[in-house]
Structure 1
Amino acid sequence: MAGYGSMNDLELIALTGCDDQQAFAELYARYFDALYLHACQRLRDKAEAKDLVQELFSHLWSQRHALSTTEHFSSYLYKAIRNRVLNLLAHKAVEAKFLVNLQYTGNGTEAVTDHLAREHQLARVVEQEIQSLPPRMRQVFELSRKQHMPYKEIGMLLNLSEQSVRSHIKGALKLLRTRLGLWLYLAMLLWLS
């Protein structure tokens, strides 16, 4: 169907709800750049901004049957990306505060070497969890996060589509969050006691 570009958001949402991938692709093309710029201005990190927008559209596709045919779809998208940005920034603030607290003692009686030992122990646990990822997912994750390669280059190197690379990264992060969540919580409790 050649007329997707001339359809309004409501029509495209309705078609997307019927599993029409081209209608969803039109919504993606229509809003991706604006959402990316919006996220990039707040995060000042192009890769993180792109990841957030990709995750938003991935979520929209997974929820396509429940998408509301609201007249303000663009407002919904901007609110959704803003909330994702705020969540990421809040997570970074908590992470930074945890790292600062890990480096400096509150009462001055604990030795810095104790904190360094805990930091190394945490790094070992994280590395063990990375090594336990499925082989292809681990390879993609390490190229992205340790060697800082862009998704496109990883895809070319491993003969994967850029979307497959994104899926591997997203899956790896989800697994690591799940596996490390309880451990980090326990480590923080032990550190604070």
Structure 2
Amino acid sequence: MKNLKLYTDAELFDLVKNGHSFAFSEIYNRYWEILFRHAYRLLKDKDLAKDIVQEVFVSLWDKIGELDLQFSINAYLYKSVRNKVLNLIEKDKVKNNYLESLAAFINSSEAITDYRLRERLLKEKIEKEIADLPPKMRQIFEMSRKQNLSHRQIAKELNLSDKTVKKQMSNAIKILRLKLGGFIVLSILLKLISI
């Protein structure tokens, strides 16, 4: 068998379809870096870009038996990355629109008294979840959200790198979304039921 680097994409694809995982490894090695750069250029987030590319390759592996590529594997992979990025952006846009409309509703002067009570309970729940964050993460989160300091200012004050501060903020937001997601939905459902 000749060196895999000498195989065309079409030849590698046929080998993978016939169960040769070493050919899949070659496709992965050939395109991972290029696809990562493509995803990063669109998202400006290395972790998200890595996740997207990984998902594309997992999906390719899962669907390889069903695929009948009319275009090159290169075109298929690029299109898959682009579609996953667009789906992620759309999902974030919907989530942001939801949160903005929720914030507008909460700030509405028409909110009834019992809703204000639920709002206070939600704020208390948020404060409790923030207090439960690991100490350094909580400190960074509060400096950012309550003192309105930039990542650079926080990094300088705590003698940390900007990257560490950014990662801690990202982790804090992920944790809070996970812990508060159901509570926010429940709060809205209770409001709708009481109307």
Same fold by TM-score greater than 0.5: yes
RMSD: 3.3
Aligned residue number for residue 118 of structure 2? 114
> Which string of whole-angstrom CA distances, capped at 9 and with x for unpartnered residues, describes residues 70-117 of structure 1?
342211111111110000011111111222223332642226663453
**Does 103-112 or 24-33 show the bigger shift?**
103-112
Distance 1:145 1:18, change over 3 A: farther
Which deviates the most, 106-115 or 37-46?
A: 106-115
Q: 1: distance between equivalents of 2:87 and 2:127?
A: 24
- Matches for 1:78-93 after TM superposition, within 5 Å: 78-93=78-93
1:129-144 correspondence runs (5 A): none
Give % identity: 32
Cα distance, 1:25 vs structure 2: 0.7
Contact conserved, 1:10 with 1:71, CA < 8 A, in 2?
A: no
1:38 maps to amino acid: H
Comparing 47-56 and 65-74, the one that deviates more: 65-74
User: 4+ residue runs of structure 1 moved beyond 3 angstroms?
Assistant: 111-124, 144-148, 183-193
Distance of 1:119 and 1:19 partners within structure 2: 54
Q: Who is 2:3 aligned against?
A: 3
Q: Does 1:28 align with 2:32?
A: no
**Change over 3 Å in CA distance of 1:45–1:58 after alignment to 2:** same
Structure 1 residue runs of 5 or longer lacking an equivalent are 125-143, 149-175
Largest Rg, 1 or 2: 2
> CA contact under 8 A between 1:39 and 1:81: conserved in structure 2?
yes
Matched residue count:
143
- For the 8 Å contact 2:52–2:85, the answer to whether it is kept is yes
Partner of 1:157: none
Counterpart residue number, 2:52 = 52
C-alpha distance in 2, partners of 1:93/1:186?
21
